[in-house]
């Protein structure tokens, strides 16, 4: 039987505006145009509210010396700002309420985080009414340590040279309590399902995990993932295909591009229907959208930064 082709007038307005598009704007404002219960999966990497990367994400602000209050020219990640966690919680609680509204019952919500902010993110998602099902650990070895020595502060003290030297040698090797971060947590949450899992799958075609999506020798999908070779045993069980050199695009200037293979894995685990819709409300340079496209799924990408919107569109056009 031939498929009845849809007249453009029959396609709901929100689909025409958002489906398989990268849309420029504030996601909280734009999501109001998407009806409730219409998205299958949200896979996103929000601003962490660290290093000035808050809801007003701006590269210029991050590199501006004006905002480095304590130590001038402090590199990204070195300034510890305890109040950021609560700010992030309040903002992400509000965001998670709107994510929950647009998701279908049983729909999944994956959100990347940072180890020292994870508790705030998980609480916001939990408090917005999601079921927190698990937490993935994305393991890596290459990252810069963020701890600082006290030399800078000692130099600022009014001390004679011998006392200064003595103090420095007394604390030689002792640094601010920041570890070299070697993992990123990714929350795995779910909008409450409709009655039972079976009922939810029959009615909404989302809500279960595909246990056939294996990595290496693992017999069941695990909550540890890596995209770089770490060590034989770890590689055997948790190593996804490594990112290719070209996948990011030479024109991509985004600071926090996620690996495509990792995003693809999370989507493969949970996408059941062919017409699955994947939303990334903080799409950045478009990794989630490219992953969805490569798997033949639909995507909706939103970003408030026009440069990243342009980058994401180009990546999609070239993928
Ligand atoms: C961590 S980055 C995402 C990077 C992305 N995963 C990638 O692979 O390129 C977060 C993005 O959120 C965007 N953003 C921040 N606040 C936003 C808002 N209110 N609405 C939409 N996008 C926002 C920023 O411009 C930034 O590109």
pLDDT at position 53 is 61
Nearest CA to ligand 1 atom 3: 284
Q: How far apart are CA 169 and CA 163, in angstroms?
A: 10
Residues of the chain with CATH 3.40.50.150: 14-146+183-318
So what's the pLDDT on residue 266?
98
Residue 116 has pLDDT above 80, yes or no: yes
Indicate the pLDDT class of residue 109, thresholds 50, 70 and 90.
very high
User: Could you say which of 3.30.70.260, 3.40.50.150, 2.100.10.30, 3.50.50.60 is the CATH number of the domain covering 14-146+183-318?
Assistant: 3.40.50.150
Enumerate the H helices of the chain as residue ranges. 13-18, 27-30, 59-63, 83-102, 118-127, 151-156, 161-170, 197-204, 232-238, 260-270, 287-294, 306-318
Residue whose entry in the numeric block shows the structure tokens 């209050």: 69
Q: Give the length of the chain.
A: 319
According to the model, what pLDDT value does residue 55 have? Answer: 61
Q: What is the mean pLDDT of residues 41-62?
A: 73
CA of 56 to the centre of ligand 1 (A): 9
Residue 207: name the closest of 301, 154, 308, 130 by CA. Answer: 130
Residue 9 has pLDDT above 90, yes or no: no
- pLDDT of 78 strictly over 70: no
- Ligand 1, pocket residues at CB < 6 Å: 26-27, 45, 47, 55, 57, 254, 256-258, 281-282, 284-285, 287, 302-305, 308
pLDDT band at 310 (very low <50, low <70, confident <90, very high): very high
CA of residue 283 to ligand 1 center, whole Å: 5
pLDDT at residue 81 greater than cutoff 90: no
Residue nearest to atom 22 of ligand 1 (CA): 303
Q: What is the band of 145 on the pLDDT scale with cuts at 50, 70, 90?
A: confident
Query: Measuring from atom 13 of ligand 1, which residue has the nearest CA?
Result: 282
Q: Which atom of ligand 1 has the smallest separation from the CA of 56?
A: 16
Number of helices (H), then strands (E), belonging to the chain: the values are: 12, 8
CA dist., res. 305 & res. 56, Å (int) = 9
């Amino acid at each position: 039987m031939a498929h009845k082709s849809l007249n453009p007038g029959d396609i709901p307005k929100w689909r025409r505006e958002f489906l398989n598009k990268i849309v420029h704007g504030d996601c909280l404002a734009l999501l109001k145009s998407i009806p409730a219960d219409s998205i299958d999966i949200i896979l996103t990497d929000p601003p962490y509210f660290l290093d000035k990367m808050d809801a007003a994400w701006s590269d210029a602000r991050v590199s501006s010396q004006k905002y480095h209050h304590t130590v001038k020219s402090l590199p990204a990640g070195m300034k510890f700002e305890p109040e950021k966690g609560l700010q992030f919680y309040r903002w992400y609680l509000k965001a998670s309420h709107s994510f929950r509204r647009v998701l279908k019952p049983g729909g999944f919500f994956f959100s990347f985080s940072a180890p020292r902010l994870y508790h705030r993110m998980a609480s916001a998602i939990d408090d917005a009414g999601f079921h927190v099902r698990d937490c993935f650990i994305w393991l890596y070895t290459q990252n810069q340590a963020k701890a600082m020595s006290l030399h800078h502060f000692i130099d600022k003290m009014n001390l004679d040279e011998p006392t200064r030297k003595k103090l420095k040698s007394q604390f030689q090797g002792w640094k601010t309590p920041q570890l070299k971060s070697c993992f990123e947590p990714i929350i795995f949450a779910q909008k409450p399902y409709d009655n039972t899992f079976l009922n939810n799958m029959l009615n909404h075609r989302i809500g279960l995990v595909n246990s056939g999506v294996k990595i290496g020798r693992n017999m069941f999908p695990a909550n540890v993932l890596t995209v770089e070779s770490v060590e034989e045993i770890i590689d055997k069980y948790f190593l996804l295909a490594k990112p290719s050199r070209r996948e990011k695009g030479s024109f991509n200037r985004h600071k926090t591009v996620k690996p495509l293979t990792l995003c693809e894995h999370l989507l493969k685990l949970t996408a059941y229907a062919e017409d699955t819709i994947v939303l990334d409300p903080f799409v950045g340079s478009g990794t989630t959208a490219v992953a969805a496209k490569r798997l033949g799924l639909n995507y909706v990408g939103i970003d408030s930064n026009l440069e990243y919107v342009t980058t994401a569109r180009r990546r999609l056009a070239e993928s």
